[in-house]
Structure 1
Amino acid sequence: MAAVVLLIITGCSGGGGESGRPAARGDELTIAVGNVAGGEFDPLKGWGSRPAQIRPIHSSLLALDADVNFVGDLAAEYSVSDDALRWDFTLRDDARWSNGEPVTAQDVVFTYELLKKDASQFDLSFVRKITAADEKHVSFQLEQPRSTFVSQLSEIPILPKDHYGPEYSSNPIGSGPYQVRSYQDGQQLILEPNPHWYGGKVAFSSLTFLFLAEDAALAAARSGGVDIAYVPPAYADQQIPGMTLQTFESVDSRGLTLPTLPAGNTGKIRGQEVKVGNDVTADRAVRQALNIGLDREGLVELVLQGHGRPAFTLVDGLPWFNEAAAFEDGRIDDAKRLLQQAGWSDSNGDGIVEKDGTPARFALLYPSDDQLRSDLALVVAEQARAFGIEIVAQGTTWDGIYRDGKANAVTWGGGRHHAHQLFEMYSSTAIDSGYNNMPQYSDETVDRHLAAGLAAADPAEANEHWKLAQLDGEAGFAGEHGDAPIVWLIRLDHSYLVRDGLDLGKGPIQGHGHEWALFNTLADWNWTT
């Protein structure tokens, strides 16, 4: 990493010198937005499990437009039966792999059958049969309607049937606007244009992605060595000659997962057995007190420096958001009263309430290398102290979070252009699957609405059930009277320092992940001046 930073400072493709003077506007870009290669270009390793990640080198059947509509990508046209059980696609005639061979319906069948059999990265268990009538027509027959299937069709990268194998990551062949020229694990990725891409000529002959942490990316921007750098909210007001801060609204939210079971249970995360439960957060009153007592506007100002907005659910502002789930927060007296009514009181005068001899104290885990989550944990701990809850912020690794996160609170994140994450984070059927449903939350009414939302054939019907899962009268996981297994707090804007004159196009509202969120418009990037 030190060598990479030295390369930036001494001048790399498109870069400037130590004075920070603007870089020359050539046809090469250098970009520092984090490690964009997670999954190593292979969907069996998780490539495509993050919003917009596949867009540089792969295509999918569908894509998102700027208005968050699902439109054709590899598919020239598609249709869905009235019962939503049959999906038919006609592939575009000009789709080619980066080696010049045509993309066929057989490639689509191969990709989806491969991922269905694997079952670890993408849930395709509801797909009964995938067939190719000829080279250009493919059909999916579903066991039951799946309202979020359309989102998978925009996220799953199509693979070349005749060129896929165990070594695919070392030589990925795709049908997107760029192809891999060089990849150094943990250091950088260099892309060059795919000469056979159906979208036409792209503006840049080379894209170099440097896998730098946030502080190193900012240093690279100051040195003039990169054309785009992601900026954490705490540094979003930086002034760098030759670069302009561009800020994009996102659905990228942060909150706290709170174990809903008492200590002493066991479960699984990513196939490994772990401890489950926490005697403090298992008390619904504690979770509700945090939900109504924490001041989201204050968190936005202190943690995001104003570059975001409060969040009350994972899906605020989206078509499936239940607006009744928003409420007045920062109510310290009400939080104290709620705890007292549930039997929590400060009997020894130390400022921390107890119940049956157990103080309202628990650990809040956050990844040590994530400044935003670190700041969030510390400010939340300070706010919670005001109504008698002691939160001990603990930095760790993601492996540590996966190991200990079902017995402790975790600074969690998410946000997609579809509602499937609601099912993953709150359905009891998702418990012990991957890192889904971290709080081990289970509620019969919520489960019923989530299942109905997932299985709805009509989008409007699906949205109604997603809303009722959040809040169904007095039941649900959201709202001030909800179960609050996850207390969502802030929704951040994505900020980037961008070389003056570089146009990043107009894309949809950005999803979770600073690293990949820009890629929906990658093929449209160009110099305007």
Structure 2
Amino acid sequence: MIILRTLAASALALSVAMPSMAADVPEGTKLAENQTFTYWVLDGIPSLDPQINTTTDGSDVLRNLFEGLYNEDAKGNLVPGVALEHSLSDDKLTYTFKLRDNAKWSNGDPVKAGDFVYSWRRLADPATASEYAWYMELMQVKNSKAVIAGDMEPSDLGVRAVDDTTLEVTIETPLPYFPQMLVHASTFPVHQGAVEAHGDQWTRPENMVGNGAYVLTDRAVGERLVMNKSDSYWDAENTVLTEITAQVVNNVNQGLTRYQAGELDYVEMPAGQYPRLAAEFPEQAKSVPRNCSYIYMMNLSDKGPEALKDPNVRKAISYGIDRDIIVDRVLQGGQKASYNWTHWATAGWERPEIEYAEWDQASRMQKAMELLNEAGYGPDNPIELKLQYNTDENHKKIAIAASQMLKPLGINLILDNYEWKVHLERLRNQDFDLARYAWCGDYNEPSTYLDLFASYSGHNNGKFLNEAYDAAVQAAKTADDPLPHYQDASRILADEMPIAPIYHYSLAFMLNPAIKGWPYENLGKNWYGKDMYRVAE
């Protein structure tokens, strides 16, 4: 639990009460002898480098292998990580973090403030070529924009080690949610010696040095990843799970079969299975809101199809997709139809009035046909587009449904399926027409969504460029009340339609009831193995 209190006229400090155990095990609980947790992942994890990773599955692993300044508890509240507390200057531009003196790397070296300085500079350094370099700019870290652009040296970034246990960060404009951003994996420290000694091989099990509750002991890319409890972690005494395995199963139906065979402790459900599984296994089947949104991104770059240059065509595509059918008949897992980008449950968010969201589907289809006719298209002059998605039965079902919905309008979608790694590469290189895309918030605040379509975003793969949009998201960063600016940005997305929103996530999954400590109320579903344990069955 976080308590903000005034320490003096010149500063504010954040104080966090630490629980007695990392895993909060109730008194009298009988723990299982086997303290392992095996969970399902759909695809291989491309990178285990905190400054390079871009995937949610990768972040799940990195939260266990590394530890940043703060962690989250089961409800999404900040709790100490390497930092015990911080103070904030009068002008709200300088954060001073007090680091614990018992944090250690897995090789026994102490974790120092300089490790964060090195890692944050590494993130912003153009030589690293991180897709998340822009995160430093989102955090408003001083000089980050110039460093990322190569106009200033990484040493000019607004972060410095006052001493081994004191980290100072200077930002360019007050940002009330700055501490929340520190749970993101890109801000985690990496061990300079390991990186410099092994180059891009430093994340191999035999080379990796981490500071998290677990160490990497085995990795077969595309098959499995194994983490074991770290004896050097500052709270190892209170960490209960001894081994965590990420098991890659490229088919969600096979994943469910392996869960039911007892091979997995956790699996996400195939589309449409939640009602049945919840009825049959009420203690195991769960559905909870998750801070992610699912869209079809449109390629507006020079490499994109000519038809998508016309906003009328883009609107017609979006209007023609019946989201209610997708969430109620295809997915059936508690998801919500979406007509905007930002997840409905995001803290501080209220969706503005968006006209097409209030229409019934028949009205949307009629308007879509009118817009296509204005653009010179229709059933007599159809548009042919490729719809790219990564291998997954659920993505395939949604793509098939969308193609059937749009066909009466004269929009013919050719389904274009790729494995995850290739899908990502094609997105980054603008080698697509329409592409399935999902974003899970890096923190619980609307900017984590809306910043993505700004011109400076490293993830704006569709190359939507709009000065008014940039102005709205920038204005939000200095506003006492950012919501009106966030709503302006959301209206621009609805007017220009560079994306077709499909649904806001709910996480429908099966969890072995012997596993305790899962963060059901954490909107981002940021879980930490150190907070979990297995009870005797």
Q: TM-score, normalised by structure 1?
A: 0.78
Q: Is the 8 A contact 2:293 2:343 kept in 1?
A: no
1:441 to 461, 464, 477: 464
Partner of 1:187: 223
Q: Counting helix residues as a fraction of each chain, which structure ranks higher?
A: 2
CA distance in 2, matches of 1:420, 1:447: 12
2:233 to 197, 202, 216: 197
Are the structure 2 counterparts of residues 194 and 154 from structure 1 closer, same or farther at C-alpha, using a change threshold of 3 Å?
same
Are the structure 2 counterparts of residues 524 and 40 from structure 1 closer, same or farther at C-alpha, using a change threshold of 3 Å?
same
CA distance in 1, matches of 2:264, 2:115: 37
Amino acid at match of 1:158: P
Partner of 2:243: 206
> Aligned residues: percent identity?
18
CA distance in 1, matches of 2:257, 2:56: 29
Q: Is the 8 A contact 1:55 1:520 kept in 2?
A: yes
CA distance in 1, matches of 2:243, 2:528: 18
Partner of 2:362: 332
Deviations 1:147-184 (A, max 9, x none): 77545421122123444332421232222221222222
SS of residue paired to 2:325 = helix
Q: Is the 8 A contact 1:79 1:89 kept in 2?
A: yes
Alignment of 1:329-408 (within 5 A): 329-340=359-370, 343-344=373-374, 352-353=378-379, 358-367=381-390, 369-398=391-420, 399=422, 401-402=426-427, 405=430, 407-408=432-433
Amino acid at match of 1:307: G
SS of residue paired to 2:62 = coil
CA distance in 2, matches of 1:341, 1:159: 52
Q: Is the 8 A contact 1:109 1:132 kept in 2?
A: yes
CA distance in 2, matches of 1:380, 1:47: 25
Cα deviation, residue 75, structure 1: 0.9
> Once superposed, what is the RMSD of the aligned Cα atoms?
3.2
2:506 to 493, 498, 509: 493
Cα deviation, residue 465, structure 1: 2.1
Partner of 2:481: 461
CA distance in 2, matches of 1:403, 1:507: 33
1:483 to 473, 496, 499: 496
CA distance in 1, matches of 2:56, 2:437: 20
Cα deviation, residue 346, structure 1: 9.6
Partner of 2:4: none
- Gapped runs of 5+ residues in structure 1? 1-23, 266-274, 512-516
Partner of 1:323: 351
2:98 to 73, 90, 93: 90
Alignment of 1:14-413 (within 5 A): 26-35=34-43, 37-44=45-52, 51-117=59-125, 118=128, 120=130, 121-123=132-134, 124=136, 126-127=141-142, 128-145=157-174, 149-155=178-184, 156-165=187-196, 166=199, 167-170=201-204, 171-199=207-235, 200-213=237-250, 214-236=252-274, 237-238=276-277, 244-260=284-300, 265=302, 275=303, 277-317=304-344, 318-325=346-353, 327-340=357-370, 343-344=373-374, 352-353=378-379, 358-367=381-390, 369-398=391-420, 399=422, 401-402=426-427, 405=430, 407-413=432-438
- Gapped runs of 5+ residues in structure 2? 1-31, 143-156
Deviations 1:236-295 (A, max 9, x none): 43488898223332122211112346xxx2xxxxxxxxx2x2232322222223333432
Which deviates more, 221-230 or 519-528? 519-528
SS of residue paired to 1:133 = strand
Deviations 1:370-400 (A, max 9, x none): 2221111111111223444333333234525
Q: TM-score, normalised by structure 2?
A: 0.77
CA distance in 2, matches of 1:64, 1:36: 25
CA distance in 1, matches of 2:61, 2:374: 46
Cα deviation, residue 50, structure 1: 5.6
Deviations 1:90-129 (A, max 9, x none): 0023322223332111222222122222352333354333
